[in-house]
């Protein structure tokens, strides 16, 4: 493989996550009037502080960010292939300008926190902001996981982990502004190669 530095047309380094995949989530908050609002976010990951935490970045002014500041809590709902049109619409329309109410959409209050959650998402985090780090043009939120709501079929130990993962059908996206499906193709188990020092 020949590797080259990624550059803009003017020769400066291009800063993109191009072909590096991420998993998008819909963040749910309640607006001041009590109605739910959802936005789409992919700058989402995890960190450790005695137990698993979630960290995420929201750039610029967004209704979701205002509501997280106001309430200190939100939900993060994993986006599946079936939810993609809905998720993209939530991510393409600012909550400041659009009432994002959708008739028939099944929204439930969290089990631990007062946050709107999407019944169709198989994996929903109920998150409480523990620490926020304001940046020049964005903000990082480090969040305690108060609860996780999952499709109960994912807890069925009689089915293999691989079989259960197939039920999820998560969406991946890349910095090339594309969405992709995941073809579950089990490659191995964590630490499987621990005692097999690579001989290249
Ligand atoms: C695929 C996709 C991913 C996005 N990821 C993020 C993100 O990680 N951080 C962010 O600040 N905005 C992100 N956005 C933009 C927000 O979803 C968008 O601004 C949306 O209107 C926010 O909803 P709100 O205005 O109701 O808060 C993303 C949009 C799309 C389409």
**What is the per-residue pLDDT across 15-37, written as a single tens digit (0 to 9) for each?**
999 999 999 999 999 999 999 99
pLDDT for the residue 82:
97
Ligand 1 atom closest to residue 56's alpha carbon, by position in its atom list: 8
Ligand 1 closest atom vs CA 43: 8
Give the residues surrounding ligand 1 with Cβ less than 6 Å away: 24, 37, 39-43, 57-59, 62-64, 88, 91-96, 173
Residue pLDDT, tens place only, 154-172: 999 999 999 999 999 999 9
- Residue 47 β-bridge partners: 53
Burial class of residue 110 (count of CB atoms within 10 Å of its CB; 0-12, 13-18, 19+): buried
Give the end-to-end CA distance of the chain in Å, rounded to a whole number.
15
Q: Write the pLDDT tens digit of every residue in 40-87.
A: 999 999 999 999 999 999 999 999 999 999 999 999 999 999 999 999
Closest atom of ligand 1 to 177 CA is 1
- Give the Cα separation of 39 and 92 in Å (integer): 8
CATH of the domain at 146: 2.30.110.10
pLDDT for the residue 194: 95
Q: Does residue 119 fall inside a structural domain?
A: yes
Is residue 192, in this structure, part of any structural domain at all? no
Confirm whether 16 is domain-assigned: no
What's the structural domain count of the chain?
A: 1
- The whole-chain average pLDDT of the chain stands at 97
> Is 87 a domain residue?
yes
Whether residue 6 is contained in a domain is answered as no
Q: Grade residue 182 by pLDDT with cuts at 50, 70 and 90.
A: very high
Per-residue pLDDT tens over the stretch 133-153: 999 999 999 999 999 999 999
Q: How far is the CA of 40 from the centre of ligand 1 (A)?
A: 5
In this structure, which residue's CA is closest to atom 3 in ligand 1?
A: 41
Q: Has residue 173 got a pLDDT over 90?
A: yes
* Neighbour-count burial of 55, counting CB atoms closer than 10 A to its CB (0-12 exposed, 13-18 middle, 19+ buried): middle
pLDDT at residue 200 in the model: 83
3 within a domain of the structure (yes/no): no
Three-class DSSP category at 78: strand
pTM over 0.85: yes
The protein residue whose alpha carbon is closest to atom 14 in ligand 1 is: 41
User: Could you list the residue range(s) of the whole structural domain that residue 115 is in?
Assistant: 25-181
Residues 98-121: tens digit of each pLDDT: 999 999 999 999 999 999 999 999
Contacts of 157 (CB under 8 A, 6+ apart): none
Atom of ligand 1 nearest to the CA of 173: 1
| 167 within 8 A of 153, measured Cβ to Cβ | yes
Task: Examine residue 194 and state whether it is found in any structural domain, yes or no.
Answer: no
């Amino acid at each position: 493989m020949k590797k080259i530095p990624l550059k803009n047309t003017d020769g400066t380094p291009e800063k993109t996550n191009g072909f590096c995949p991420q998993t998008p989530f819909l963040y749910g908050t309640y607006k001041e009037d009590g109605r739910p609002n959802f936005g789409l976010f992919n700058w989402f990951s995890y960190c450790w502080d005695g137990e698993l935490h979630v960290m995420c970045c929201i750039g610029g002014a967004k209704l979701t960010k205002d509501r997280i500041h106001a309430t200190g809590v939100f939900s993060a709902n994993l986006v599946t292939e079936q939810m993609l049109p809905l998720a993209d619409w939530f991510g393409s329309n600012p909550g400041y300008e659009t009432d994002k109410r959708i008739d028939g959409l099944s929204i439930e209050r969290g089990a631990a926190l007062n946050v709107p959650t999407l019944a169709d998402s198989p994996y929903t985090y109920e998150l409480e902001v523990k620490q926020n780090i304001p940046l020049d043009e964005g903000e990082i939120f480090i969040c305690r996981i108060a609860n996780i709501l999952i499709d109960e079929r994912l807890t069925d130990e009689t089915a293999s982990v691989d079989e259960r993962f197939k039920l999820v059908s998560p969406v991946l996206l890349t910095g090339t502004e594309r969405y992709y499906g995941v073809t579950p193709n089990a490659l191995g188990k964590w630490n499987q190669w621990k005692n097999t020092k690579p001989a290249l």
